[in-house]
Amino acid sequence: MKEIIVASTNEGKIKEIRAMLSEIGIDVKSIKDVFEEEIEIEENGQTFQENALIKAQTICEMIDKPTLADDSGLEVDAMDGAPGIYSARFMGHDTSYDIKNQYIIDAVKGKERGARFVCAMALCIPDEEPILIEEYFDGEIYDHIEGENGFGYDPIFYVPELKKTSAQLSLEEKNQYSHRAKALKKLYQILKEK
């Protein structure tokens, strides 16, 4: 396998995946490199893994090439696992993360603060069984927005062992601890053995 298409237009995600997989000689391309028009895929799964698999299978069937997709998000204990698979769409697509983050801070006030980031990856290779990976990054909801690095819910996701929010972590720290980094390391090992 010399090439993998990533079923995403998120440049940050593509960059992370490209950096890791280029070490074993795999060329990583985004769906923007393959399709001129935007591809809309309905993520109607009930879990992160189901949504990652829907995206990977859809693109793999369209282009007949190995395709990788990930679905990730934040689960908050005091909110019964919300926003979960709806993390990107939580409170509406157009709602800023400052508003979403403040809502979550207010929702856990005086309650259990436990939370985790989840990353599910699905790699579909034509005529093979899909490879599914799921990894976690455990922490808690901070009592205020803090940090400039990262995006989304990173400024309210506090990592007690590092005494920082995810938005305060260096790239090196993030690549060691984050849910996506852990999933990518697993994928790297699997592909290396292939």
Single pTM value for the model: 0.90
What pLDDT band is residue 15 in, cutting at 50, 70 and 90? confident
| 12 annotated to bind ligand | yes
Q: Which residue has the higher pLDDT, 170 or 49?
A: 49
- How far is it, in rounded angstroms, from Cα 35 to Cα 28? 15
β-pairing verdict for 3-6 and 67-76: parallel
Q: What is the pLDDT of residue 16?
A: 81
Check if the beta carbon of residue 188 is closer than 8 Å to that of residue 21: yes
The fold of the 3-193 domain, in CATH, is Maf protein (3.90.950)
Helix pair 11-21, 179-193: axis angle to 10 deg: 40
| 153 annotated to bind ligand | yes
| 174 annotated to bind ligand | yes
Check if the beta carbon of residue 126 is closer than 8 Å to that of residue 67: no
Q: Which residue has the higher pLDDT, 64 or 191?
A: 64
- Residue 21 above 90 pLDDT? no
Q: Where are the beta strands (DSSP E) in the chain?
A: 3-6, 27-30, 67-76, 114-124, 131-141, 157-159, 164-165
The pLDDT tens digits of the residues spanning 60-100 come to 999 999 999 999 999 999 999 999 999 989 999 899 999 99
Q: Is 127 a catalytic residue?
A: no
- Where exactly are the structural domains of the chain? 3-193
| 89 annotated to bind ligand | no
Q: What is the pLDDT of residue 109?
A: 97
| 179 annotated to bind ligand | yes
Q: Which residues contact 122 (CB under 8 A, 6 or more apart)?
A: 49, 52, 53, 55, 56, 57, 68, 69, 70, 130, 131, 132, 133
Q: What is the pLDDT of residue 169?
A: 94
| 96 annotated to bind ligand | no
Q: What is the pLDDT of residue 40?
A: 86
C-alpha distances (whole Å) from 117 to each of 72, 88, 161 are 7, 13, 15
Q: Which of 64, 70, 71, 94 is catalytic?
A: 71
- How far is it, in rounded angstroms, from Cα 123 to Cα 41? 16
C-alpha distances (whole Å) from 134 to each of 54, 61, 139 are 15, 23, 17
What pLDDT band is residue 160 in, cutting at 50, 70 and 90? very high
